[in-house]
Amino acid sequence: MSGLIPLTMREIKKWYRNPTFFIVGLLQPLFWIALFGSAFDITRTAPQYSYYILQGAPNYITFIIGGIATTTALFTGMFAGMNIIWDRRLGPLGRFLASPIRRSSIVMSKVLGATVRIIVQIFILFLAALLIPSGLILPKNFNILDVLIIAVTVLLIGIFFASLFSAIAIRITRQETIMGIVNLVNLPLMFASYALFPKNLMAPWIGNIAQYNPVSWSAIIIRTIIINGKLSQAQWNTVLNNFVYLLLTTLFVVVITIILAEKEIRN
Amino acid sequence: MYSVETYNLTKIYSNGVKAVDKINLQINEGEIYGLLGPNGAGKTTTIKMLTTALKPTEGSAKVAGYDIVKESMKVRMNVGIVPQDLTADEDLTGMENLLMVSKFYNVPYGKAKENIDKLVKLVDLRDSINKLVGQYSGGMRRRLELIMGLVHNPRVLFLDEPTLGLDVQTRSLMWEYIRNIQQIENITIILTSHYLEEVDALSNRLSIINKGKIVVTGTPEELKKSIGGDIVVLTFKNGKEALQATDILKTYKASRITELSIKIKSSDFSKDSQTILGILKESNLEPLRIQVEKPSLDTVFLEYVGRSLPDEEGDSDSRKMMLMMRRLRK
Ligand SMILES: Nc1ncnc2c1ncn2[C@@H]1O[C@H](COP(=O)(O)OP(=O)(O)O)[C@@H](O)[C@H]1O
Ligand SMILES: [Mg+2]
């Protein structure tokens, strides 16, 4: 895959060079924090039940940060797909396809580029959440292993979405089409999940669907760790189960994306 | 061995359009070979097949000695392409674009840099090579595209309408660059164009292609000769004389073109003029004015395709396209 590294470098260069993309990308998670973390506090009307609603989290930001991180990955992941279509419309794709590089490296460079963005964004998100007053409160025994699990989860959900939207973009030639698809899937992915609300606040049918949503898996992993720090056996099992779902689903989507790219991408 | 050789190469698109119809080409090493044809003739489709972007429906081809279907990766390693559409990334500098493409071919950095510096000098882009491509003029972009196809020292270079949408001066500058590249790199160049002058100025040999078929092949001189030599226009004092002359010069395919003038064909008028004027003198006829039109590719095209190349129309088409692409980018 001699194309993967130069093409990924290109993605990253284009991102940090474009001031709007860069700044918007960094502001977005901060808006999320401001909006969902404080303006939208679901415990406000019933503070006496807040411990129950928030599953033991000391405040709403701590509860929701895993969900915001995941939603950030969802929104940035779609850039991977959009950028494939831009490359097709503006011409560079023609050059890539004429070169002796693997077709999948063209698509996977978008996935990696978007994943790098996602990781930087989420890093800023956590940093900001820790710094603001009454923001993220980490558990006492929060350790490096917890950081590692959260980082890998973020990596996986980033790859998952970037790959998903890239696969969708492989045969699409119009920007409008992918925007339509993105708009169609983003809301259900976001709201039919445990990213923003706990299951016990949802209508039962959505709550049930939500357990099959990768957004939920990632949100649950981060949330469980960030609320509890030292996990009980049951909590470990929850984290482990969700992690395995996320890992397998991501691998599956990546494999499909690579196969589709090798076979189907054209100008 | 030929640099490019095709056997009944054919492409039928999924919508049933037969864009290329049993094309047979034999292109020698070190040659600049022109594919001349109007818009929609199948030039781009042919180039796309030869550079492995499209699979042929039927037939086969070898490029740089490799089969375009069975050895497509080897073909890609050995050919350079300058497609009809612009391909450079506007958010990167010219240099960054060139280095990125070098990496696609695993050219080591030092060698890539050396090669790029040489190419950049060759097309006079040294002053702007570290600027973002988005700030380039149309001519600069085309020059960059030209050398983007050369960073890996290919043996065969495909140029698909390399001067599309450029003004006349910039176009002849591009021709100069293309000639220089051919000489310095000693490379085979296959060039498509719907500009007659371009193919005439650049190519050693050419094929005229129309509706997916090759109509005729030869050197520009051979093709010009093949249509029967010079066209001579003789103008007389009055219509009566002109009529008389038409009759006398039947063997030279004489025909009236205006009230006072007739047109004849002569394989080489500098040799035939004595005889022709002699015949006329016998009947006491003397033309007032003699114009000799050397055959051009224009006349060749007219002869073989049955109509002129719609140059103006093509021009405005490509200009529209360039405008559109600009707008898209903004
Ligand atoms: N992707 C495509 N699908 C269907 N028809 C096509 C496609 N590309 C080109 N054609 C048709 O094939 C013919 C040849 O096109 P092309 O090779 O682009 O000609 P040229 O480069 O000589 O202008 C045209 O009639 C064109 O409309
Ligand atoms: Mg064309």
Q: How far is the CA of B11 from the centre of ligand 1 (A)?
A: 10
* Residue B189 sits in the same domain as residue B321: yes
**CATH number, residue B275:** 3.30.70.120
pLDDT at B324: 47
Does B284 fall in a domain?
yes
* Residue B182 sits in the same domain as residue B116: yes
pLDDT at A86: 92
Q: Do B87 and A101 touch (CB under 8 A)?
A: no
Cβ contacts of residue A216 below 8 Å, gap of 6+? A193, A194, A195, A210, A242
Q: What is the pLDDT of residues B80-129, one digit of tens each?
A: 999 988 999 999 999 999 999 999 999 999 999 999 999 999 999 999 99
Which of B13, B305, B318 has most ligand 1 atoms within 8 Å of CB, for mutation?
A: B13
The DSSP 8-state label assigned to residue B22 in this structure reads: E
Q: What is the pLDDT of residues A191-241, one digit of tens each?
A: 899 988 888 888 889 888 999 999 999 999 999 999 988 888 999 999 999
The two structure tokens encoding residue A187:
């809301």
pLDDT at A202: 85
The pLDDT of residue A175 is above 80: yes
Q: Which of B192, B90, B80 is nearest to B132 (CA)?
A: B90
Q: Higher model confidence: residue B159 or residue A29?
A: B159
pLDDT at A167: 94
Asked if B236 and B285 touch (Cβ cutoff 8 Å), the reply is yes
* Residue B213 sits in the same domain as residue B256: no
* Residue B217 sits in the same domain as residue B104: yes
Q: What is the pLDDT along chain B (330 residues), one digit of tens a residue?
A: 899 999 999 999 999 999 999 999 999 999 999 999 988 999 999 999 999 999 999 999 999 999 999 999 999 999 999 998 899 999 999 999 999 999 999 999 999 999 999 999 999 999 999 999 999 999 999 999 999 999 999 999 999 999 988 888 889 999 999 999 999 989 999 999 988 889 999 999 999 999 999 999 999 888 887 777 777 888 999 999 999 999 988 888 888 878 888 888 887 787 888 888 898 999 888 899 888 877 777 777 777 776 666 554 444 455 445 544 444 443
* Residue B264 sits in the same domain as residue B184: no
**CATH number, residue B95:** 3.40.50.300
Q: Which of A146, A151, A14 is nearest to A69 (CA)?
A: A151
CA distance B205 to B184: 19
pLDDT at A221: 95
- In this structure, the residues whose C-beta lies within 6 A of any atom of ligand 1 are B 13, 15, 17, 19, 37, 39-45
Asked if B91 and A18 touch (Cβ cutoff 8 Å), the reply is yes
What total number of domains does chain B contain? 2
pLDDT at B310: 58
Could you state, in order of their start, the residue ranges of all structural domains in chain A? 4-264
* Residue B233 sits in the same domain as residue B281: yes
Q: Which of A193, A253, A187 is nearest to A222 (CA)?
A: A193
The pLDDT of residue A51 is above 60: yes
User: Which pTM value belongs to this model?
Assistant: 0.84
Q: What is the pLDDT of residues A89-118, one digit of tens each?
A: 999 999 999 999 999 999 999 999 999 999
Q: Do A5 and B101 touch (CB under 8 A)?
A: no
Asked if A1 and A102 touch (Cβ cutoff 8 Å), the reply is yes
Sequence letter at residue A266: R
Mean pLDDT (whole number) for A172-177: 87
Q: Which of B183, B101, B110 is nearest to B144 (CA)?
A: B101
pLDDT at A197: 83
Which of B11, B12, B17 has most ligand 1 atoms within 8 Å of CB, for mutation?
A: B17
Parent domain of B269: 229-294
pLDDT at B298: 76
pLDDT at B327: 45
A55 burial (CB, 10 Å; 0-12 / 13-18 / 19+) is middle
Task: Determine the distance in angstroms separating the CA of B64 from the nearest CA of chain A, rounded to an integer.
Answer: 15
> How does the average pLDDT of chain A come out, rounded?
89
- Closest atom of ligand 1 relative to the B161 alpha carbon: 21
Residue nearest to atom 18 of ligand 1 (CA): B44
ipTM for the complex? Answer: 0.87
pLDDT at A37: 66
Q: Do B83 and A92 touch (CB under 8 A)?
A: no
Mean pLDDT (whole number) for A186-195: 89
* Residue B133 sits in the same domain as residue B9: yes
* Residue B214 sits in the same domain as residue B248: no
pLDDT at B307: 65
* Residue B105 sits in the same domain as residue B44: yes
Q: Crossing angle for the helix pair B94-104 and A4-17, nearest 10 degrees?
A: 160
Closest residue on chain A to B329 (Cα): A90
Q: What is the pLDDT of residues B207-237, one digit of tens each?
A: 999 999 999 999 988 888 777 777 788 899 9
Does B300 fall in a domain?
no
Closest residue on chain A to B53 (Cα): A98
Q: Do B328 and A92 touch (CB under 8 A)?
A: no
